[in-house]
């Protein structure tokens, strides 16, 4: 499990005074980049010809986040299949209330063939180490 903190600012909100739907996807992406910072070397993967590519996001908007809320984004590897894997991302308020949860399905695109690589060997290991650990 990996956690990232994000403070809700005035520019994150929309006309309803809630964090906007699209902005949450930036919060989720921010949390994924934070994992890459810490543990998954995207530049090395790129040199090896692989690109982390999101193919589906299934996101539930549970309760609105408001100005001054401090959000915690928890990310873990929920499933790793043959050619795709699923990150579960959970956005909570400090009091534990769920704001958003999402399943983010990704593949490791082979940049040469533009096909999803088989997640085995070193590739599978580095994903599991980075996101699970």
Residues that bind a copy of itself (CB under 8 A): 7, 9-17, 20-23, 25-26, 29-30, 33, 37, 51, 53-61, 67
| Rounded to 5°, angle at Cα 55 from 89 and 91 | 15
Report yes or no: 108 and 53 within 8 Å, Cβ to Cβ: yes
Report yes or no: 127 and 85 within 8 Å, Cβ to Cβ: yes
Per the annotation, the verdict on 69 as an active-site residue is no
- 16 or 121, CB closer to a copy of itself? 16
- 65 or 77, CB closer to a copy of itself? 65
Cβ 56 to a copy of itself shortest distance, Å: 5
Q: Tokens 């989720």 label which residue?
A: 28
Per annotation, catalytic residue among 14, 37, 38, 41: 14
- 9 or 120, CB closer to a copy of itself? 9
Cβ 58 to a copy of itself shortest distance, Å: 4
Residue 115: how many other CB atoms lie within 10 Å: 11
Cβ 33 to a copy of itself shortest distance, Å: 5
Cβ 31 to a copy of itself shortest distance, Å: 10
Q: How far apart are CA 85 and CA 106, in angstroms?
A: 6
- 10 or 121, CB closer to a copy of itself? 10
CA distances from 39 to 21, 25, 57, 65, 95 (A): 28, 21, 22, 29, 28
Active site residues: 14
């Amino acid at each position: 499990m990996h956690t990232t903190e994000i403070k809700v600012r005035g520019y994150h909100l929309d006309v309803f005074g809630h964090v906007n739907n699209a902005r949450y996807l930036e919060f989720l992406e921010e949390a994924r980049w934070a994992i890459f910072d810490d543990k998954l070397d995207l530049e090395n993967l790129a040199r090896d010809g692989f690109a982390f590519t999101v193919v589906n996001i299934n996101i539930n908007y549970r309760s609105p986040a408001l100005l001054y809320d401090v959000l915690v984004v928890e990310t873990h590897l929920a499933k790793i299949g043959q050619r795709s894997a699923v990150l579960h991302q959970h956005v909570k308020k400090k009091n534990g209330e769920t704001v958003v949860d999402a399943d983010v399905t990704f593949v490791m695109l082979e940049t040469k063939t533009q096909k999803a690589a088989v997640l085995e060997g070193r590739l599978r290991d580095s994903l599991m180490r980075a996101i699970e650990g």
